[in-house]
Amino acid sequence: MSKDSNKHTPFDVNALWELARIGAPSLSPDGAQAVASITRYSMETDKGASSLHLFSTLGGEPRRLTAAGDKDSEPQWSPRGELIAFLARREQEGVKDEEAQLYVIAPDGGEARRVAQVATGIEAFKWFPDGKRIAFVSWVRPGLKGTAAQEKAHKAFTKERKETGYVTEETIYRFWDRNLPMERVPHLHVVDVATGKVRDLFEGSIHELTRAEPDSHCFDISPDGKRIAFAFDPSAEKKLGNVHTLCEIEVASREVSVLLADKDWDFTAPRYSHGGHHLAFLASHQGLKHTMPTQLAVLDTHGRWAVMSADWDHEVAAPLEWDEDDGALLFAAEDRGRRHVWRFELATLKPTVVFEGGHAGSFALAAGTLVVNHDSVQFPPRLSVQTSDGPQRIDGGLNADLLARHRFGTHEEVSITGAQGDAVQMWLIHPPGFDPKKKKAYPLLHLIHGGPHTAFGDSWHWRWNHQAFAAAGYVVACVNYHGSSSFGHAFLDSITHRWGELELQDVEAGTDWLLKQPWADPKRVFATGGSYGGYMVAWMNGHVEAGRYQAYVCHAGCFDWKAMFADDCASYHSKELGAWYWDDPAKVAAQSPDTFAKNFNTPTLVIHGAKDYRVPDAQGLAYYNTLKAQGLPARLVWFPDENHWILKPRNSRQWYGEFLGWLKRYDRKG
């Protein structure tokens, strides 16, 4: 072993949680400085603390801006540059925030000031162009008038109510890991930054924002500050999968007009041009199919609109940012397992990569300066400014000292022939020091991604970290099977109404390719996955012969599609599977792992969180119970305080320990 190797320790879960995590940037109006939150976690306290930091795009060391709070997040620079607004829970002037509130602080430091005390809390916000007002989202009771009435009702419900029953007649009543606020809906509000006076713009109307995580992308403020465009679901029955119209509200009068409505199209993420003559937005032709991509579209002041990216087979993601001359828009979009920032020229309809991933997670644009939060399999998120010489880091080498303690494996992408004879991408992450020419047999570990309409790629994963698995000695394989995003709509849509079929062929093709390599150990092959990847692992257990894989790990996996109707997006089931379970039970059962339980044959670790509403934990419990009833080796790890993801430091450490321990138990050389 070389002296250099002796200096390094394996990159493991403890090292993963030592790393600082930087958030999305916001730029000062002149583009000279960026602000972003940095979160650091403690394994000892099992908690994280976030603070705001300033980063110069012109050179210089970063500077910490806030210290008093423990969850300062989502900073936004004011249009005039004299203030930075952010969300936090603090104690100020004898009042302790029970919900997230809006604060402002001067960029040169000082004490942050709470803008207003909003009893129902604040979830997202945007500055008005004049820098004197802020629009924000809060869940309120739509039948009440005035902030005093809202505060009184909220206090009665949260402090004085003794009953605990959740009562609803809504179709969508829970999302991800929480019940939606009972009898409340998300309204758009305006607050005066100087006085703290709050107005509910939707008060007394039928209008509301999306109930599925309303954020700052679902509305935008006109350049003159007189109007706000927003996406609105006009259906009486609110549910996931409904199409949205684009509406506009006059801030002074609160009069709402419909800008664009089409029963076949879903319109979201509006963004005014600097001149105010055009509105960019995302459009998805849901009338054709539920899997249709979100595309870039533009509406003019005469009501004419067009999809600009119709001939570009990519999915466009919010936010949309107009270039300075209003001749182009910037946005992020995936491309073959990577995610770039693109510039889309409206005159030529030509997309150009202006920042190449890896994975471009978020970006900010101001005064011609582009700052990107980006990552890769090789490094966690960092902040860089794009220059004529390429990306230049501005985060002061965040995490550099910690990362230098470890050796990391190389990664590469290979192309295999998968289902239907199609080329399928597979990513490989090698153990540190991997040498394909050495006579050493490596164990193989499939990480099967969820979704299914997502992709594994050249990105840093905080929960399923490729480098942590590779450091344990595995060659990690990530197959972007049919149904994955970033390879065009036909590839993504190919699995619709026949889940499991093509994906299994692709994963198996990946295994075949791996086993042909001289460095692969055919007796040490494992398959693991989470969410849809967990579904795939359960599906494999019923369709793959015994002995091909030594063990499986199923995290938050779908097991029984009929019982899955208890999830938070049941309205999608018939679209994805091709039928409701009561109309065509055979079709649904043919895509459900539990149907093939009699064929189960491989030791399986089952992991689930009780707060998982996307894949309810009964799925994992049923799978585990089935394996035990059949006398198959199985182990259950159940977290009462986690959702679809394992987010707490110590629970994550336990997760990795159980995960790798299970593989080691069935690794004959482990």
Contact 532, 202 (CB under 8 A): no
Query: Could you tell me the strand order of the sheet in which 423-429 lies?
Result: 411-417, 423-429, 475-480, 442-448, 520-530, 551-555, 604-609, 634-639
Query: What pLDDT, on a 0 to 100 scale, did the predictor assign at position 628?
Result: 98
Q: Which residues of the chain have pLDDT under 70?
A: 1-6, 670
Query: What pLDDT, on a 0 to 100 scale, did the predictor assign at position 406?
Result: 97
Q: Which helix (H) or strand (E) holds 655?
A: helix 649-665
Query: What pLDDT, on a 0 to 100 scale, did the predictor assign at position 365?
Result: 98
Give 3-state DSSP helix, strand, coil % of the chain, rounded to 5. 20, 35, 45
Tokens at 352, concatenated = 């150009």
Gap between the Cα atoms of 640 and 630, Å rounded:
26
Q: Which helix (H) or strand (E) holds 391?
A: strand 390-393
pLDDT in tens, 417-474: 999 999 999 999 999 999 998 888 999 999 999 999 999 999 999 999 999 999 999 9
Half-sphere exposure of 448 (CA within 13 A, CB side): 34
Q: Which long-range contacts (CB under 8 A, 24 or more apart) does 542-545 make?
A: 542/593, 542/595, 542/596, 542/597, 542/598, 542/599, 542/600, 543/500, 543/504, 543/596, 543/599, 544/504, 544/508, 544/602, 545/601
Tokens at 575, concatenated = 């679209």
Task: Pinpoint the alpha helices (H) of 140-194.
Answer: 147-155
Does the global pTM surpass 0.85?
Answer: yes
Gap between the Cα atoms of 221 and 230, Å rounded:
9
Query: What pLDDT, on a 0 to 100 scale, did the predictor assign at position 7?
Result: 83
Contact 185, 140 (CB under 8 A): yes
Give, in degrees to the nearest 5, the angle at Cα 462 between 620 and 217.
95
Give the β-pairing of 475-480 and 133-140: unpaired
- Rg of the chain over Cα atoms, rounded to whole angstroms, equals 25
Gap between the Cα atoms of 305 and 326, Å rounded:
16
Bridge partners (DSSP) of residue 47 are 42
pLDDT in tens, 573-626: 999 999 999 999 999 999 999 999 999 999 999 999 999 999 999 999 999 999
Return left, alpha or beta for 46; rule: phi > 0 is left, psi -120 to 50 is alpha, else beta: left
Instruction: Determine the residue type at 10.
Output: P
Sign (positive/negative) of CA torsion 116, 118, 124, 125?
negative
Task: Pinpoint the alpha helices (H) of 21-67.
Answer: none
- N-terminal to C-terminal alpha carbon distance within the chain: 20
Query: What pLDDT, on a 0 to 100 scale, did the predictor assign at position 1?
Result: 39
533 three-class SS: helix
Return left, alpha or beta for 202; rule: phi > 0 is left, psi -120 to 50 is alpha, else beta: alpha
Gap between the Cα atoms of 542 and 536, Å rounded:
10
